[in-house]
Structure 1
Amino acid sequence: MATPPTKQSVLNLYHSMLRTSQSFTSYNFRTYFVRRTKSTFREIHNESDPAKLAAFYAEKSQELAVLKRSAIVNQLYGGRRLVVEDQKPVRDRGDT
């Protein structure tokens, strides 16, 4: 039988997934993965079965690795900012 993850390790995984979700440059991907992460961890919040918790933790750990790779690719090929995003002024090298 697999040992269940501690509450702190699940919380650390949650924060890592949120942090990685925030690193997407594309607004649509970023908001989707933040919403998805929150809803997924909300569903498992009151789970007490150790086998289900261990399976959930293992699955989400693998998903975090995929999410990190996807965020890197998205940063490489990110497009322009959308109208709904905060627009920061474009600065030239000579501007201070």
Structure 2
Amino acid sequence: MATPPASKAILGLYASTLRTAKSFSSYNFRTYFVRRTEDTFRGMQAEQDPIKLSQAYSEAVKELSVLRRCAVMNQLYGGGRLAVEEQSDVRTPADT
């Protein structure tokens, strides 16, 4: 029988994955991977079967290494900022 990973290991993996997802320079990729990370780890949190939990954990470790490489490439070749990201710089009539 496979032993499930410790909750501290899962939380550490979650923090690393979320940090990597937030490092994307592209707004669309960043929001997608943050949302996907949260959904993946919510599913892991709800999992009761230790075998499935071990498999999900090992899959998440593999995905983290791929995500790190993709984040580096996105930082190298990322484009400019989108209008969505610059909303905090724009003043509305209600602000005056």
Query: After superposition, what is the alpha-carbon deviation per residue over 1:58-92, rounded to whole angstroms, capped at 9, x for unaligned?
Result: 00000000000000000000110001114799xxx
Which stretch shows the higher mean deviation, 35-44 or 62-71? 35-44
Could you say if the C-alpha distance between residues 4 and 36 of structure 1 is closer, same or farther in structure 2, counting changes exceeding 3 Å? same
**Contact preservation (8 Å) 1:81, 1:87:** no
- The answer for unaligned runs of 5 or more in structure 2 is 90-96
- In structure 2, what is the Cα distance between the partners aligned to 1:88 and 1:23? 19
Superposition TM-score, scaled by structure 2 size: 0.86
User: Which portions of structure 1, spanning 4 or more consecutive aligned residues, are displaced by more than 2 angstroms?
Assistant: 86-89
Could you say if the C-alpha distance between residues 80 and 87 of structure 1 is closer, same or farther in structure 2, counting changes exceeding 3 Å? farther
> Which has more helix, going by share of residues?
2
Q: For residue 45 of structure 2, what is the amino acid of its counterpart? A: H
Equivalent in the alignment of 2:6: 6
Q: For residue 70 of structure 2, what is the amino acid of its counterpart? A: S
Superposition TM-score, scaled by structure 1 size: 0.86
- The answer for unaligned runs of 5 or more in structure 1 is 90-96
Q: Between Structure 1 and Structure 2, how many residues are aligned? A: 89
| Percent sequence identity over aligned pairs | 60
Equivalent in the alignment of 1:54: 54
